[in-house]
Structure 1
Amino acid sequence: MPNDLDIFTQINNAVLDLQGSSLQSYDRPLKMLGRLLQHPDLEHANKTLTEGLDLEAFLAKQDNEGGMVGSDSLDWPDSADEALGLTLLLIWKFAANPVDITHFGHTYFYSGSKIIASVHAVTKQMIIPFVRDYKTYVRNFGNSKPRLIMPTSNKVFIVHGHDDGALQSLARFLEKLKLEVIILKEQPNQGRTIIEKFEASADEVGYAVVLLTPDDVGSTAVASGQSQRARQNVIFELGYFAGKLARGRVCLLRKGDVEIPSDLFGVVYTEMDAADGWKAALVKELKAAKLDFDANRMWE
């Protein structure tokens, strides 16, 4: 296992690969995820989390009515730790035999006739929340080694679209506070792909500010009109940082009447108003995230 990446970074990368996988490739990141979750550094926490749990008994007691496709649901235990442990056992089961996730997804997370859609639904609705909660569990367990803990960083990543004015205004304000700003397009390529460059830059930061600016227009198939939307890369990077850094270390700045994606639960957002009231609101969020900066400089 590479020493330059901590375990949770590698777990996040495996989940990202699973999200973007095809029917021909989903097994590889799934197996990688299973291996990472059995790393020796996690052994003690895993043993405590899964002790006394019987996955096969849990699956056998599910009331699968066999009626309308997609009507079955899982009866999870009330205990959050038990549910977390059962999910861990499920992921190990899928990693050992990847085809199991397709049958499981078809039964409990049905998303249409395409098999890979069910795999992606399991990833989005079960595996991603699991990774978020599992990370918290391990870090609170008291047996973590230093490389399990992501270092505190005063670097702030700016996710942006095509509004260069909003980008420059935000970047100069953060620099005024003596925070180090990371803008992807300003980082050297070093022969890497865009996603490799993004992941490497994202690994260094302790906070992300996401600029939602009206760069695109779009609508649902049944909508009568179109609405202003942020660029697709902005929404992707927002989701990445919400999972990687946790919601308390991501702030949305919305400029204009931009549509807010419906699944952005719990992520703070602030209107980027012309009167610059967003600056005080952002400073408040940066303080709450315990970044080390001089808030008094905002008045200079």
Structure 2
Amino acid sequence: MVTIFLGSANTPSALDDLRKIAELIEEVGHGVVPWTSPGVFPLGNHMSESLDNICKHVDAAILIFSEDNQVLFGNEFNLHPKPNVLYEYGLFKGHLGLDRTIICRRGSSSIPSDLSGVIYCNLDREYRAERELLAWLRRLSPRK
């Protein structure tokens, strides 16, 4: 069985996307580890230690980039994903690789220029997003 970590911000819309994606993962027969599950971040542990441990026990990761932070850049505000979601994307990509770590993006949140070439799943196009996610999920196999 393939196990997938699912990360997002703690906002109602991001958590709604997390729930929908978790349902797709389960529909394909894979295990899902949403960041919101009890025990994912055990009491007394440090966040980075917990994330490193998760990286060792999952086969893939999906990070949801949504319009969660308003950041002043020059004279205008831009919408960005939460910094912890960006950090987690980099962490999981480093542990699992590009083919096992994907971005699902909601809205027009800015993506750092270092990630501008990464192909992501556009959650605003729901039908296409579901088909793309299902295709990616079906290609996954357990890590060796």
Give the TM-score band, short-chain normalised: 0.7 to 0.9
Which of the pair is proportionally richer in strand? 2
* Partner in structure 2 of residue 230 of structure 1: 81
Partner of 2:26: 175
Structure with bigger RCO (C-alpha 8 Å, 6+ apart): 2
Matched, 1:269 2:117: no
The residue identity in structure 2 corresponding to 1:291 is S
- 8 Å Cα contact 1:184-1:198 kept in structure 2: no
Q: Identity of counterpart residues, as a percentage?
A: 23
Partners of 2:93 and 2:54 lie apart in 1 by 15
Q: Which has the higher helix share?
A: 1
Structure-1 residue corresponding to 2:4: 156
**Residue 198 to residue 231, structure 1, CA distance change in 2 (3 Å):** same
CA-CA distance at 1:174 after TM superposition: 0.9
* Equivalent residue letter for 2:59: G
Question: Which whole-Å CA distance do the structure 1 matches of 2:125 and 2:116 have between them?
Answer: 26
Once the two structures are TM-superposed, the CA of residue 272 in structure 1 deviates from its matched residue by 0.2
Distance 1:217 1:276 in 2: 28
Give 2:141's aligned residue.
Answer: 291
Q: Does residue 245 of structure 1 match 2:93?
A: no
In structure 2, relative to structure 1, the CA distance for the partners of 1:213 and 1:253 (3 Å cut) is same
- Aligned with 2:110 (options 236, 259, 267): 259
Rg bigger for which structure? Answer: 1
Tell me how many residue pairs correspond in the alignment: 137
Where do 5+ consecutive residues of structure 1 fail to align? 1-152, 293-300
Check whether the contact 1:174–1:181 (CA below 8 A) recurs between aligned residues: yes
CA distance, structure 1, for counterparts of residue 16 and residue 35 of structure 2: 16
Structure 1 273/227 Cα, relative in aligned 2: closer, same or farther at 3 Å? same
Does the C-alpha gap of structure 1 residues 174 and 201 become closer, same or farther in structure 2, counting only changes over 3 Å? same
CA deviation string 1:136-195 (max 9, x = no partner): xxxxxxxxxxxxxxxxx6110111012211111111111111111112231411532222
Provide the alpha-carbon RMSD of the alignment: 1.9
Say which SS state the counterpart of residue 192 (structure 1) adopts.
coil
Q: Is the 8 A contact 1:210 1:251 kept in 2?
A: yes
Q: Helix, strand or coil for the counterpart of 1:243?
A: helix
Alignment of 1:193-208 (within 5 A): 193-208=46-61
Structure 1 contact 250–268 (Cα < 8 Å) conserved:
no
Three-state SS of the structure 2 residue aligned to 1:228 is strand
- Which of 210, 215, 219 is 2:68 aligned to? 215
Could you say what secondary structure the match of 2:120 adopts? Answer: strand
Aligned to 1:191: 44
Counterpart-to-counterpart distance in 2, 1:187 and 1:198:
14
* TM value normalised by structure 2: 0.84
Distance 1:190 1:178 in 2: 29
